[in-house]
Amino acid sequence: MTEQRYAELLDYLGVTWDLVKLGGLAAWDQQTMMPPAGAGVRARQLATVSKLVHEQLVSDELGELLDELRPYEESLDYDSDEASLIRWTRRDREKELQVPGELREEQTRAAAEAFPVWVEARRTSDFASFRPYLERNVELRRRYADCFETDEPYDALLDDFEPGMKTAEVRAVFERLKEGLVPLIAEAAAQEIDDSFLRQGRFPVAAQRELEQVVLGRFGFREGSWRIDPTEHPFASSLGTSDIRMTTRYPEDELSGVFAAMHEGGHALYEHNVDQALERTPLCRGVSLALHESQSRMFENLVGRSLAFWRWGFPYVQRLFADQLGGVTLEDFHRAINKVQPSLIRIEADEATYSLHIILRFELEQDLLAGSVDVGDLPAVWNERMNEYLGVEVPDDARGVLQDVHWSRGTIGYFPTYALGNVISVQLWEKVLEDVPDLEQQLERGELTSLTDWLRERLWRHGRKFTPQETLERIVGGGLDPEPYLAYLNGKLGALA
């Protein structure tokens, strides 16, 4: 009887998860393939998926199934697939039930209205026109946070991306990061590193694609289970563990596409390597955004900006871009791809300054939510802190407070996951090195198998079975710790000097 009910739960969640993935397909298509005039109907289709997934989660049918399965759940090993699936479904459902339907709808409507206004405001650097929309989004996020019992409002928002994570914990980590990064960056930025050969010139798309295939070919994807397409804002998406969609961009005047591809490749490997027994369940995805970002950052930075990896890969780069890079040494290339330079735009920031862009946003989000910074004062506060943390002058709001899409969508609480990803990536990397002491020598031969085997076994295959905290505890034997990341940056940037 219990077995039958559990089978029913699997069937039920299979349908739910198929809907989630159909939404994923519709979103991927929207950003890679869809003719532009399809946008209006596509938005409705995506809204329908959201509505149906919501209905699946809050249904009485699911509630009854979960109630009946409680004794079964309690009889199971906490670490089992079955216990995890029931536990997470219960948690997802409870969160979903906590928020009134009208509030969800108002949020969706407000975001849909704010987005085009933001696009135009950014284009014209006109914060004033966006201000009322942002005020409304912030107010709605406050009301959303009020739906949950938490230590502070931001906890509720963060929980959507990092289940169980507390703002206080993140704050402590970020305080330490800021303290370590500000002087480190000031020192690194003073170094004279020439990266002009990466940023000025011509990098033909065909050669970029070839390099990308050579590099991703080392990542160990199963044959016939992935593709990569051009898009404006790179992302990775999985429509199934064997149907992985990466996207990237190929600006022809700089060599950045391969790093974007490695970043998305890290996300993609994570989704690709979830245990196939979890397919078509809500456990078939990464633990959280920060854990996901730890993988993209690991492959983009710890692998993809290491001297060892390019000892293997630089000959390809030189062959493919002979005119441009024929006379550049491996060492110059390595210094250039690791150059630290405070700048205005988050998504163009280097590995070291990136986290400061994030910390600034994390702080401002809390200030907005608490009302301690008024939306109207946001540009001034933004500019002041950019100067304080990164030493840069913000010339206009387009390159300042208006640069990111997130707030226009009503997404608050998401930013910190990017920097947490940096922190976690190095915590994991240290553990990899304990078990694979010759990893550097392997990278020098372009071999990633020991690394990917390690990550598959410890992290990837479990999908979303555990919380971020449980996951970290299982792998590194502790919680978030910024020290390895700071030590890594210190060592690396020191060596470049």
Q: Which residues bind a copy of itself (CB under 8 A)?
A: 14-15, 18-19, 21-22, 25-26, 29, 33-38, 40-42, 44-45, 48-49, 51-52, 222-227, 239-244, 279-280
d(CA 285, CA 464): 6
Nearer CB in complex with a copy of itself: 41/168? 41
* Number of helices and strands in the chain (H, E): 23, 3
Q: Rounded to the nearest whole angstrom, what is the least distance from the CB of residue 355 to a copy of itself in the complex?
A: 34
Picking from 372, 357, 165, the residue whose alpha carbon sits closest to that of residue 157 is: 165
- For the chain, report the end-to-end CA distance as a whole number of angstroms: 67
Nearer CB in complex with a copy of itself: 34/496? 34
Nearer CB in complex with a copy of itself: 39/322? 39
Q: Rounded to the nearest whole angstrom, what is the least distance from the CB of residue 473 to a copy of itself in the complex?
A: 31
| Annotated catalytic residue 64 | no
Which are the contacts of 495, defined by CB distance < 8 A and separation ≥ 6? none
**Contact between residue 138 and residue 410 where contact means Cβ atoms under 8 Å apart:** no
Picking from 74, 99, 100, 98, the residue whose alpha carbon sits closest to that of residue 87 is: 74
Catalytic residue among 264, 293, 351, 365: 264
Q: Rounded to the nearest whole angstrom, what is the least distance from the CB of residue 245 to a copy of itself in the complex?
A: 8
Chain centroid, CA 269 distance in Å: 13
Nearer CB in complex with a copy of itself: 134/269? 269
**Contact between residue 416 and residue 354 where contact means Cβ atoms under 8 Å apart:** no
Q: Rounded to the nearest whole angstrom, what is the least distance from the CB of residue 137 to a copy of itself in the complex?
A: 26
Q: Rounded to the nearest whole angstrom, what is the least distance from the CB of residue 30 to a copy of itself in the complex?
A: 10
d(CA 234, CA 231): 6
Q: What are phi and psi of 368, to 5 degrees?
A: -65, -45
Nearer CB in complex with a copy of itself: 169/279? 279
Order across the sheet with 244-248: list the strands: 226-230, 244-248, 236-238
Which are the contacts of 496, defined by CB distance < 8 A and separation ≥ 6? 188, 191, 193, 334, 335, 338
Q: Rounded to the nearest whole angstrom, what is the least distance from the CB of residue 47 to a copy of itself in the complex?
A: 8
Q: Rounded to the nearest whole angstrom, what is the least distance from the CB of residue 23 to a copy of itself in the complex?
A: 8
SS3 of residue 287 by DSSP:
coil
Picking from 315, 213, 304, 200, the residue whose alpha carbon sits closest to that of residue 252 is: 200
Nearer CB in complex with a copy of itself: 102/223? 223
**Six-digit token pair at 463?**
């999908």
Tokens 């790093």: give the residue.
259
Q: What are phi and psi of 225, to 5 degrees?
A: -125, 10
**Contact between residue 419 and residue 359 where contact means Cβ atoms under 8 Å apart:** yes
Nearer CB in complex with a copy of itself: 180/240? 240
Q: Rounded to the nearest whole angstrom, what is the least distance from the CB of residue 88 to a copy of itself in the complex?
A: 20
Beta bridge partners of 273: none
Which are the contacts of 346, defined by CB distance < 8 A and separation ≥ 6? 354, 357, 358, 361, 403, 404
Number of C-beta neighbours around residue 318 at 10 A: 17
**Contact between residue 407 and residue 137 where contact means Cβ atoms under 8 Å apart:** yes
Q: Rounded to the nearest whole angstrom, what is the least distance from the CB of residue 332 to a copy of itself in the complex?
A: 38
Nearer CB in complex with a copy of itself: 9/349? 9
Nearer CB in complex with a copy of itself: 46/496? 46
Q: Which helix (H) or strand (E) holds 227?
A: strand 226-230
Which are the contacts of 45, defined by CB distance < 8 A and separation ≥ 6? 26
Q: Provide the annotated active-site residues.
A: 264
